[in-house]
Amino acid sequence: MPHKVPQEMSKEDLKKWLFDNMDSNKDGRISMKELHRALKELGHSFGWLKTFRAFWFSDTNWNGAIDTDSEIDKLITYAQNMWGIKVTN
Ligand SMILES: [Ca+2]
Neighbouring residues of the ion ligand 1, judged by CB less than 5 Å: 59, 61, 63, 71
Ligand 1: distance of its center to the CA of 40 in Å?
21
pTM for the model stands at 0.77
Its CATH architecture, for the domain 8-87, is Orthogonal Bundle (1.10)
Per-10-residue mean pLDDT of the chain, 89 residues long, equals 69 89 93 87 73 89 94 89 80
Q: Where are the domains of the chain?
A: 8-87
Ligand 1: distance of its center to the CA of 2 in Å?
26
Q: How far apart are CA 75 and CA 46, in angstroms?
A: 15
Ligand 1: distance of its center to the CA of 29 in Å?
8
Please answer whether residues 42 and 2 qualify as being in contact, where contact means their C-beta atoms are separated by less than 8 angstroms.
Answer: yes
Ligand 1: distance of its center to the CA of 39 in Å?
19
